[in-house]
Amino acid sequence: MLIWLKKSLNDPSYIKPFVWSLFYWRAKEGNIPIMRQDDLLKQGITKDRLESYINRHYIIYLCVWILYMICAQFSELFVPDIPKTSFPIRVIEYFFYDGPPFISLFNLFYCYIYAGALFFSINYLYEVIILSSAHLLKYIYSTPNSFLHRTLTNDQLNSLKLWLISLLFYSKPIFNQPYLSENPRELWSIRWHQMFHEIFVELGYKPACYLFSSFPAKLQKIFGTLASFAISGILHEYILYSSSRYLTLEQFTYFLFNAIVMMIWESFSKFRLDQGQKFLWKRIRDSLFMTVFVLFTLPWFIEPYIKCEHYHSLMHFICRKM
């Protein structure tokens, strides 16, 4: 809503409906002109292409739904005991104060399965949106005298077709194979949950850079990065607190830790590459380190949801075990 208000104030001559802003991660959405139905068909949105698109996404939906049900069922049936002490504190106690092991192998494996349930739940719900939009576009194309044609004006109908085509054929995927990430910035900026990326940039990164505009550019970027991850942490803390009144700041500190690691990672990688390191070896090394880092820190993010008994997650973790 705040992004929509900002863009509306920047261009008061033409204000798009707020609902049009619900897919802000769409690539080059503003450069796609409104065209007639015949023109859109000439651009490649043919009946065969649309049918192929729908069939492919039905297969994706089925596979994702099966994986989600497997992970969700496992996470409900085999809930482990989670220590009351937060994960980062247990890690510190283990390495610096001769404390007990900070996590068992089964608990670590369970966190991976639980994370899979969250990942697949968001994906399959997004596929529902994609398939519904594709069928609506097919209905518009195949039924010239439909209820929509009789109810909407030509401009409104063209605008609806443009929005559907933009969503289906010009959008980045909501998740872009995050398991292939080679560094934290690639994970958080390109491959992970593109729906919220611009929100965090607009509400965190840019205001922080403006607030510290009198500082050197590097410090502006540091404060901006910390602010964008802080907004993400606040959002996740709100999800937990609103559904279960659970607040420990584990989510907030998890995202701030990732911001710090990302900045250190980039400084180290640039230094090593400047020393003449081969590019292929750098990619292999970074991919391995990134995988280990994500797997090692994942319980920090997942454990608060397990403690709140969010075993059967559907959307935003609001369904609780009875």
129-166, pLDDT tens digit by residue?
Answer: 999 999 998 888 888 787 888 888 877 787 788 788 87
- pTM listed for this prediction: 0.80
> Cα–Cα distances in Å, from 154 out to 71, 138, 148, 150, 192?
46, 17, 10, 10, 37
The verdict on 108 and 147 lying in the same domain is yes
The verdict on 220 and 132 lying in the same domain is no
Output the CA torsion sign for 199, 203, 208, 210: positive
The verdict on 65 and 135 lying in the same domain is yes
* Amino acid found at 206: K
Asked whether residue 8 is domain-assigned, the answer is: no
Asked whether residue 219 is domain-assigned, the answer is: yes
| Residue where one domain finishes, among candidates 171, 195, 230 | 171
The verdict on 273 and 148 lying in the same domain is no
Residue with tokens 């292929």: 280
Three-state SS sequence of 289-306:
HHHHHHHHHHHHHHHHHH
| Residue where one domain finishes, among candidates 147, 171, 195 | 171
Domain housing 244 = 177-322
What parts of the chain have a pLDDT lower than 70?
A: 1-44, 269-279, 311-322
| Residue where one domain finishes, among candidates 124, 145, 171 | 171
**Distance in angstroms (rounded) separating the CA atoms of residues 118 and 97:** 34
The verdict on 234 and 277 lying in the same domain is yes
Identify the pLDDT of residue 313. Answer: 46
> Cα–Cα distances in Å, from 276 out to 138, 267, 272, 273, 281?
54, 15, 7, 6, 11
The verdict on 181 and 163 lying in the same domain is no
Number of domains the chain is built from:
2
Identify the pLDDT of residue 14. Answer: 54
Which of 261, 259, 226, 255 lies closest to 238, judged by CA?
255
Identify the pLDDT of residue 317. Answer: 44
**Distance in angstroms (rounded) separating the CA atoms of residues 181 and 15:** 37
Asked whether residue 10 is domain-assigned, the answer is: no
The verdict on 254 and 318 lying in the same domain is yes
